[in-house]
């Protein structure tokens, strides 16, 4: 298990893509928190956050916290969202 503090910045919001599992603001923040290279697949869905292997078979997964689900819903609908931080437990 690995606990990570995820911080979604205004830049993540500005550059994030709506309705994109891999390029949304939260995916950008997760990539930064893990120091992940561009070829590592990061998928953020309403139910789970998945980080695929790079050169190994390792896969990190976490249930998406309610606060992140709410953020994603608002962001995808084009509503106003603000930067935030949360702690997520990956297994």
**Spans of all domains in the chain:** 2-90
pTM above 0.85?
yes
* Mean pLDDT, residues 20-31: 96
Write out the chain in H/E/C secondary structure.
CEEEEEEECHHHHHHCCCCCCCCCHHHHHHHHHHCCCCCCCEEECCCEEEECCCCCCCCEEEECCHHHHHHHHHHHCCCCCCCEEEEEEEC
pLDDT at 41: 87
Report pLDDT digits (tens) over 29-56: 999 998 877 778 899 999 999 998 656 5
pLDDT at 54: 59
pLDDT at 37: 75
Please enumerate in sequence order all residues whose Cβ is within 8 A of that of 57, keeping only pairs 6 or more positions apart, or say none: none
- Percent of the chain at pLDDT > 70 equals 93
């Amino acid at each position: 298990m690995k606990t990570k503090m995820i911080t979604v910045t205004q830049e993540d919001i500005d550059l994030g893509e709506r309705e994109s599992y891999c390029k949304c603001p939260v995916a950008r923040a997760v990539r930064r928190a893990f120091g992940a290279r561009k070829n590592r697949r990061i998928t953020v869905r309403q139910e789970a956050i998945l980080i695929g292997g790079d050169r190994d078979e390792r896969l990190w997964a976490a249930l998406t916290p309610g606060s992140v689900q709410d953020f994603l819903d608002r962001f995808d609908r084009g509503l106003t969202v603000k930067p935030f931080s949360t702690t997520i437990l990956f297994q």
